[in-house]
């Protein structure tokens, strides 16, 4: 098993742990805007990676819990944290261990999240 497969396995561990708690996996990229808004507007908890897609949480219900996944080298505050503060949503960030750089930006990095840290926030 190469390093990339190991990281993908860790990502699947988080997904599997959440599915075991009744979560659905939604990939917004393959959905229409209406489908995206409907999915987010009916969410009770959103677990998502840090990054450019985080503003979508502004369309989540006020009582929605937002859990953002990242790594400790990223110190910035992203839109999901800002919207949670403005809207009064519950917000938490889980930082994993940073891995390989996979793109030009510092945020373009693999990272490993401990599924138990995520489950503890549910």
Torsion of CA 30, 100, 79, 65, to 10 degrees: 80
The C-alpha atoms of residue 65 and residue 57 are separated, in whole angstroms, by 10
Mean pLDDT of the chain: 88
pLDDT, position 78: 83
**pTM listed for this prediction:** 0.85
45-49 and 90-101 strand pairing: unpaired
Tell me: pLDDT of 95 over 50. yes
pLDDT of residue 1 exceeding 60, the answer is no
Residue 52 φ/ψ, nearest 5 degrees: -65, -20
Residues linked to residue 71 through DSSP beta bridges, in sequence order? 96
Residue 113 contacts by C-beta under 8 Å, 6 or more apart in sequence? 10, 11, 14, 69, 94, 96
Q: Is 21 helix (H, G, I), strand (E, B) or coil?
A: coil
CA 63, chain centre distance (Å): 17
Mean pLDDT of 112-121: 95
Q: Quick one: pLDDT at residue 103?
A: 87
Q: Which residue has the tokens 């497969």?
A: 5
Does residue 9 surpass a pLDDT of 60? Answer: no
């Amino acid at each position: 098993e190469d390093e990339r497969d190991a990281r993908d396995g860790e990502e699947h561990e988080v997904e599997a742990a959440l599915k075991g708690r009744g979560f659905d996996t939604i990939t917004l990229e393959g959905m229409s805007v209406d489908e995206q808004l409907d999915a987010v507007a009916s969410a009770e908890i959103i677990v998502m990676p840090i990054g450019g897609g985080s503003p979508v949480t502004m369309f989540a219900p006020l009582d929605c819990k937002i859990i953002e996944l990242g790594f400790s080298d990223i110190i910035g505050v992203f839109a999901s944290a800002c919207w949670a503060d403005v809207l009064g949503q519950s917000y938490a960030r889980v930082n994993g261990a940073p891995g390989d750089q996979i793109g030009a930006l510092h945020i373009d990095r693999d990272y490993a999240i401990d599924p138990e840290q995520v489950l503890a926030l549910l």
